[in-house]
């Protein structure tokens, strides 16, 4: 191996000298001078080396630590002068390299003098020159091991910091608090929804009872209406048969039936008003339930937001603490790795020295072993020759004895050489064992650091789990909040449809009442007009009779006046002037009466014309009113027709709700109501010839509030789709 790595060897084994026994024999004087110079240099450099070693042992590793590391095997025939020169030059070179690399492997330096092993053995057996023994191995200083074994280990593997433990406890408490908060929020939501559900159930139950009462009132009103219609038919039949006694009795019953009909109608109206009030109450209860669901969604959303923020905060705190602990761990690990690497390097070079020592021992006794083998072979040959040459026994025995003597001398020489190295070998083995124990301690500290890192990682994992748990709570609460929001949205959309149908029903009811009132007013006007027309007809008949009597009287006067004129002429001719005066007076009075009658007849004729005009106006107004009655009755029929259709649709919606709740009896009753409403609506449609486009804006697929209040999310979505909302 070349000498280019001599500087590194010098830095690692500074103070260790390899020597050449053959060189000592040839140049003893030069060697002594060189050893003295070397000892002086070593004694001067020892404090500086020790101080630099202790100062640099704790520095971090550099990536160039092994850049100039080379093992050197010294040539045994090289003189000590060259060795000293190489040591001096390599020492200066390595000092510059150590400054450049920034790291000095911190072993203890020992400037003790090297151990010289001088073995002088004379071999007379074989005249061939034996190779000089190899130089002894370098002395391993005690400070190398003591420096390592005295390093404290408490600073390498510190315990987990108190802050990490506190953070772990805080994380556990925070997780428990968040879980408890989530549980309390759910309990609050459950209580609010339960209370809203109780109000909803109470309102729904009261509404069902009111619907049953209204159904009874409707049946009573129908019976009263049928009885009234039957009595009207009987009255018409009695009048047609001119059975006035029966007609009088039926008329009395008709009056009582009309009162019963009005009472039943008023009861039905009150039942409808009560149902409307309960519908409003049920709507308020459903609004309260929707508001509770909205509040639940808000609570869950706020909790989810806070949980995510707490998880992020805890994760940030844990990450910060983890980074701090990891930095401390990396610092400790780096110091331990530096120490471990130093020890491994020292162990490596001690092992190299041990190996080199064994190689030197093997090299020192290699020739002797070969000579021993030669002698053994020679002994075998001699033994063979002894067997073959019995005649030369004595001579061969002498040669064998000499060979045995030489063999023993060589074996003694081998034993001496081996025994000379045993002490150094044992010292190296002891120090190697100490280094191994220190390495074991470092390994234990490494395991301690690994355990600490595991604790730090476990703390981070625990924080991550807590964060994941909080995020899971947040996810669950957000999903529940989203579900509540979707349910609220669905309920509100369905409620808007229900409210719209309620508005349609209220509009139709108000329109029906308004039209019914208008029809009654028009009927009253017709009755008044008929009464007035009857009175006018009586007055017309009286005036006509007066005019007829006036005409007869005028005819009588016109006929009597000429007769009186003739009688007056006869009396005058008879010179009966008294009779003539009487007749003239009678004729004059008749003329005056005629004039008065004519004036009265003119007045009566004028009054008759006025009366006829008034009768004509009354008739026109009566016809107009009857036309308005027909129009309003048609509008009223349309309102009733639409209301009946809406009633049928509402009954079917209530039937679906009853079926959903399992009330079969109520569902059957509602179905019968729907069918009855459809039949009545069909009768009105056929009577007035209504068309489908007349009711195009009327909804047919209605929804019950009970159904909206009891269905879940999927059923509500399906209901929204089927209802085309």
DSSP for 480-491, written as a single string: HHHHHHHHHHHH
Give the pLDDT of residue 101: 40
- Cα(34)–Cα(56) distance, rounded to whole angstroms? 31
Query: Which pLDDT score, from 0 to 100, does residue 46 have?
Result: 40
Mean pLDDT, rounded, for 71-82: 42
- Residue 447, Cβ neighbours under 10 Å: how many? 11
Report, as an integer, the average pLDDT of 642-671. Answer: 87
Do residues 633 and 562 touch, judged by C-beta distance below 8 A?
Answer: no
> How would residue 724 be classed by pLDDT, with cut points 50, 70 and 90?
low
The pLDDT value recorded for residue 146 is: 43
DSSP state of 151: S
Confidence of residue 170 (pLDDT cuts 50, 70, 90): low
Of residues 75 and 327, the one with the higher pLDDT is 327
- Average confidence (pLDDT) over 607-620: 90
Q: How would you classify residue 689: left for phi > 0, otherwise alpha for psi between -120 and 50, otherwise beta? A: left
DSSP for 162-226?
HHHHHHHHHHHHHHHHHHHHHHHHHHHHHHHHHHHHHHHHHHHHHHHHHHHHHHHHHHHHHHHHH
Closest CA to 339 of 112, 157, 97, 93: 157
Residue 141 confidence (pLDDT) above 60 = no
User: Which is it for the CA torsion 646, 650, 651, 656, positive or negative?
Assistant: positive
pLDDT over 70 (residue 55):
no
Write down the mean pLDDT value for the chain.
75
Nearest Cα residue to 276 out of 218, 207, 209: 207
Q: How far apart are CA 115 and CA 97, in angstroms?
A: 30
What is the rounded CA–CA span in Å between residue 186 and residue 489?
21
d(CA 199, CA 195): 6
Choose between 263 and 81: higher pLDDT. 263
Give Cβ neighbours of residue 332 (< 8 Å, ≥ 6 apart).
Answer: 155, 156, 157, 158, 449, 452
pLDDT of residue 25: 39
Asked if pLDDT for residue 121 goes beyond 60, the answer is no
Average pLDDT over residues 324-339: 84
pLDDT score of 175 = 67
The answer to whether 634 and 685 are in contact (CB under 8 A) is: no
Which of 59-73, 396-410, 558-572, 587-601 comes out lowest in average pLDDT?
59-73
Query: What pLDDT shows up at residue 679?
Result: 92
Share of the chain above pLDDT 90, in %: 5
Taking alpha carbons only, the member of 331, 642, 373, 405 closest to residue 501 is 642
Phi-psi map region of 724: left, alpha, beta (phi>0 left; psi -120 to 50 alpha): left
The phi and psi torsions of 66 (rounded to 5 degrees) equal -105, 15
Q: What is the pLDDT of residue 496?
A: 83
CB atoms near residue 628 (< 10 Å): 16
Q: Has residue 439 got a pLDDT over 70?
A: yes
Q: Is the pLDDT of residue 65 over 80?
A: no
| Burial bucket for residue 72 (CB in 10 Å: 0-12, 13-18, 19+) | buried
CA-closest candidate to residue 245, choices 235, 232, 233, 258: 235
Residue 57 has pLDDT above 50, yes or no: no
Which one has a higher pLDDT value, 637 or 99?
637
Contact predicate 271/211, CB 8 Å:
no
Distant-in-sequence, close-in-space partners of 699: CB < 8 Å, separation ≥ 6: 497, 500, 501, 504, 649
Q: 169 falls in which pLDDT band (50, 70, 90)?
A: low
- For residues 622 and 692, what is the distance between their CA atoms, to the nearest angstrom? 33
Residue 494's pLDDT is: 84
pLDDT of 214 > 50? The answer is yes
DSSP state letters, 346-409 = HHHHHHHHHHHHHHHHHHHHHHHHHHHHHHHHHHHHHHHHHHH-GGGHHHHHHHHHHHHHHHHH
Assign 159 to helix, strand or coil. Answer: coil
Q: What secondary structure letter does DSSP report for 580?
A: H
420-433: per-residue pLDDT in tens? 677 777 787 788 78
pLDDT at 42 over 70: no
> Quick one: pLDDT at residue 624?
92
Neighbours of 342 (CB within 10 A): 22
CA dihedral (478, 479, 480, 482) in degrees, to 10, reads: 80
In contact, 449 and 157? CB cutoff 8 Å? yes
* Geometric angle at alpha carbon 529, from 524 and 530, rounded to 5°: 100
Q: How confident is the model at residue 521 (pLDDT cuts 50, 70, 90)?
A: very high
DSSP letters spanning 235-290:
HHHHHHTT-HHHHHHHHHHHHHHHHHHHHHHHHHHHHHHHHHHHHHHHHHHHHHHH
- How many residues belong to the chain? 725
Residue 168 has a pLDDT of 60
Task: Give the whole-angstrom CA distance, residue 702 versus residue 709.
Answer: 15
pLDDT at 50 over 50: no
Contact 17, 138 (CB under 8 A): yes
Predicted local distance difference test score (pLDDT) of residue 36? 46
In angstroms and rounded to an integer, the radius of gyration of the C-alpha atoms of the chain is: 69
- Separation between Cα atoms, residue 678 and residue 671, nearest integer Å: 10
Confidence check: pLDDT of 460 > 60: yes
Asked whether the predicted pLDDT for residue 265 surpasses 70, the reply is yes
**Number of alpha carbons in the 13 Å side-chain half-sphere of residue 95:** 10
How many alpha carbons fall within 13 Å on the CB side of residue 179? 10
């Amino acid at each position: 191996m070349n000498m280019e790595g001599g500087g590194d060897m010098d830095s690692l084994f500074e103070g260790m000298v390899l020597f050449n026994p053959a060189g000592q024999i040839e140049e003893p004087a030069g060697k002594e001078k060189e050893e003295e110079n070397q000892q002086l240099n070593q004694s001067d450099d020892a404090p500086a080396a020790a101080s630099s070693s202790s100062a640099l042992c704790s520095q971090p590793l550099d990536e160039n630590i092994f850049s100039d590391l080379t093992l050197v095997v010294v040539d045994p025939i090289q003189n000590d002068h060259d060795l000293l020169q190489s040591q001096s030059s390599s020492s200066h070179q390595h000092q510059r390299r150590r400054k450049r690399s920034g790291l000095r492997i911190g072993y203890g330096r020992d400037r003790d003098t090297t151990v010289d092993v001088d073995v002088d053995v004379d071999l007379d057996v074989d005249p061939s020159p034996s190779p000089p023994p190899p130089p002894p191995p370098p002395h391993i200083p005690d400070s190398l091991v003591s420096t390592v074994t005295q390093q404290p280990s408490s600073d390498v593997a510190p315990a987990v910091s108190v802050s990490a433990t506190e953070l772990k406890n805080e994380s556990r408490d925070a997780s428990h608090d968040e879980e408890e908060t989530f549980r309390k929020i759910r309990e609050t939501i459950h209580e609010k929804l339960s209370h809203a559900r109780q109000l909803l159930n109470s309102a729904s139950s009261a509404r069902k009872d009111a619907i049953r009462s209204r159904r009874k009132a409707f049946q009573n009103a129908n019976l009263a209406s049928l009885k009234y219609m039957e009595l009207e038919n009987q009255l018409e039949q009695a009048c047609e048969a001119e059975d006035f006694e029966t007609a009088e009795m039926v008329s009395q019953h008709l009056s009582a039936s009309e009162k019963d009909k009005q009472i039943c109608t008023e009861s039905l109206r009150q039942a409808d008003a009560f149902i409307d009030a309960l519908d409003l109450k049920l709507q308020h209860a459903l609004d309260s339930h929707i508001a509770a669901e909205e509040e639940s969604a808000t609570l869950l959303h706020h909790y989810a937001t806070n949980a995510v923020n707490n998880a992020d905060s805890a994760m940030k705190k844990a990450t910060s603490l983890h980074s701090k602990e990891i930095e401390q761990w990396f610092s400790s690990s780096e110091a331990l790795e530096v120490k471990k690497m130093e020890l491994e390097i020292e162990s490596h070079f001690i092992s190299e020295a041990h190996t080199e020592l064994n190689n030197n021992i093997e090299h020192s006794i290699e020739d002797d072993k070969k000579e021993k083998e030669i002698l053994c072979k020679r002994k075998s040959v001699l033994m063979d020759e002894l067997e073959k040459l019995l005649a030369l026994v004595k001579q061969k025995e002498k040669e064998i004895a000499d060979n045995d003597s030489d063999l023993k001398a060589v074996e003694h020489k081998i034993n001496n050489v081996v025994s000379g190295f045993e002490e150094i070998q044992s010292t190296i083995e002891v120090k190697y064992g100490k280094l191994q124990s220190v390495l074991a301690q470092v390994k234990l500290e490494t395991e301690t650091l690994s355990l600490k890192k595991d604790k730090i990682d476990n703390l981070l994992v625990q924080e991550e789990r807590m964060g994941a748990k909080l995020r899971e709570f947040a996810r669950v609460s957000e999903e529940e909040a989203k579900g509540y929001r979707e349910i609220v949205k669905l309920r509100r959309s369905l409620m808007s449809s229900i409210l719209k149908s309620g508005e349609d029903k209220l509009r139709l009811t108000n329109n029906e009442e308004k039209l019914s009132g208008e029809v009654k007013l028009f009927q009253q006007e017709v009755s008044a007009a008929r009464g007035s027309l009857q009175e006018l007809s009586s007055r017309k008949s009286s005036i006509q009779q007066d005019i007829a009597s006036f005409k007869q009287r005028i005819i009588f006067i016109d006929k009597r006046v000429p007769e009186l004129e003739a009688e007056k002429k006869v009396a005058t001719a008879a010179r009966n002037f008294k009779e003539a005066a009487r007749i003239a007076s009678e004729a004059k009075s008749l003329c005056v009466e005629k004039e008065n009658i004519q004036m009265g007849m003119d007045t009566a004729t004028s009054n008759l014309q006025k009366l006829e005009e008034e009768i004509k106006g009354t008739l026109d107004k009566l016809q107009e009113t009857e036309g308005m009655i027909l129009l309003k009755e048609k509008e009223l029929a349309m309102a009733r027709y639409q209301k009946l259709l809406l009633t049928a649709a509402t009954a079917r919606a209530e039937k679906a709700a009853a079926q959903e709740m399992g009330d079969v009896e109520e569902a059957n009753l509602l179905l019968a109501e729907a069918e009855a409403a459809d039949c009545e609506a069909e009768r009105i449609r056929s009577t007035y010839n209504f068309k489908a486009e007349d009711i195009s804006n009327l909804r047919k697929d209605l929804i019950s509030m009970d159904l909206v209040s009891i269905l879940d999310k999927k059923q509500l979505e399906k209901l929204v789709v089927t209802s085309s909302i």
